[in-house]
Amino acid sequence: MTTASRRVSFFTGCLLLLLFNASTASGGTTYNFESCNLGPIGVWNNGPPPGCDLWYTPPSYLVPNSAPATVYPYSFIESYGVAADPRGGNNLLILSGNGNSQIGTVTYDRAQHGFNFSGASEWAVGYDISVVNVNNPGNSDDAYYIGGFSIMSTNGGASLIVDDAWDNSSTDSTWSSIYWDYDAQGNLDGVVAWTGLAQNHWYSESTVFDTNSNRILSLSLTDLTTNLTETISPTGWYMAGGAGAPFGANAFRFSGLGWGNGMLVDNVTLDPVPEPATLFLAGIGLIALIALRRREITS
């Protein structure tokens, strides 16, 4: 190897290390349920119970009608003809609703995890998701909603809610993802972001938001079979409270919301979005690497 080649290799290694540190040092986190015990997630009792990487079921005295979500092996769902996540490992999380609200026996599976969002102003939160119906989904309150995801405070309401709902009452119905966004004045709105999604099919859904401005910056959906991604960059979408409202979330939660419906979840990610200065410095490094490489080729 020539001296110039060694310089290129050394510089390449340093640049890759810089880019790796820029993307991971500030707190990117993935939860894939691989370290969880199979079965129901334990209920909070002055702290997260052991057995599932600090996931817990919120107690019903704080979140009424809560029931434990369940960690299953992929082999279990595949034995019933339910597709496995193409990016999945051994385990996944399944949530549902149970009972009948008209006679007061309904419960909702919930899985919650604490998280400190103070390490960055912009965050990208994502998860792999699939839905199936065990019974006819219908359009009643018991069955219309399938499940949901929220970013919330354990001492108050949710900053961001994304709900999943059937498009119609047929057994083979498609489903939609609904974002409950707010305008600048704090007025609630519900927007169907994605519709016509296939059940028993895996997608990755992600949202980028800014805790300083309280804005929803973008949302993306990737089909995990085709790997095609669609991204929406909304204008005037805010989290709870609207423009200038303080962001007080310190946890996130998945909920099963409809009787007879199953929401399947895996690969939950929370990543800080790099600051522009970090991207600029990385870009300078890349330009320098290209220049050095050109010098090697021409010398």
Of residues 45 and 197, more confidence is placed in: 197
Q: What is the mean pLDDT of residues 240-267?
A: 92
pTM: 0.81
Q: Quick check: 232 pLDDT over 80? A: yes
Supply angle C-alpha 157, 125, 277, rounded to 5. 115
Of residues 291 and 164, more confidence is placed in: 164
Number of domains in the chain: 1
Separation between Cα atoms, residue 137 and residue 258, nearest integer Å:
8
Residue 171: which domain range? 27-276
* Poorest-pLDDT segment among 76-90, 123-137, 281-295: 281-295
Residue 136's pLDDT band (cuts 50, 70, 90)? low
Chain segment 60-106, per-residue pLDDT in tens: 888 988 999 999 999 999 998 999 999 999 999 999 987 554 445 68
Separation between Cα atoms, residue 72 and residue 248, nearest integer Å:
32
Separation between Cα atoms, residue 237 and residue 294, nearest integer Å:
45
User: CATH number of the domain that 68 lies in?
Assistant: 2.60.120.260
pLDDT at position 21: 32
* Poorest-pLDDT segment among 3-12, 113-122, 282-291: 3-12
User: Residue 242 domain-assigned?
Assistant: yes
- Spatial CA neighbour of 266 closest among 82, 119, 66: 82
The residue type found at 225 is T
Q: Quick check: 189 pLDDT over 60? A: yes
User: Residue 46 domain-assigned?
Assistant: yes
User: Residue 116 domain-assigned?
Assistant: yes
Residue 228's pLDDT band (cuts 50, 70, 90)? very high
User: Residue 86 domain-assigned?
Assistant: yes
CA atoms within 13 A on the CB side of 36: 30
User: Residue 281 domain-assigned?
Assistant: no
User: Residue 10 domain-assigned?
Assistant: no
Residue 134's pLDDT band (cuts 50, 70, 90)? low
pLDDT at position 100: 55
Q: Name 84's Cβ contacts closer than 8 Å, sequence gap at least 6.
A: 74, 77, 78
User: Residue 15 domain-assigned?
Assistant: no
Q: Quick check: 284 pLDDT over 90? A: no
Q: What is the mean pLDDT of residues 277-292?
A: 40
Separation between Cα atoms, residue 205 and residue 282, nearest integer Å:
27
Q: What are phi and psi of 173, to 5 degrees?
A: -60, 145
Q: Name 92's Cβ contacts closer than 8 Å, sequence gap at least 6.
A: 33, 71, 72, 74, 77, 85, 264, 265, 266
pLDDT at position 143: 62
Mean pLDDT of the chain: 82
Separation between Cα atoms, residue 206 and residue 231, nearest integer Å:
9
User: Residue 13 domain-assigned?
Assistant: no
Q: What is the DSSP letter of 44?
A: P
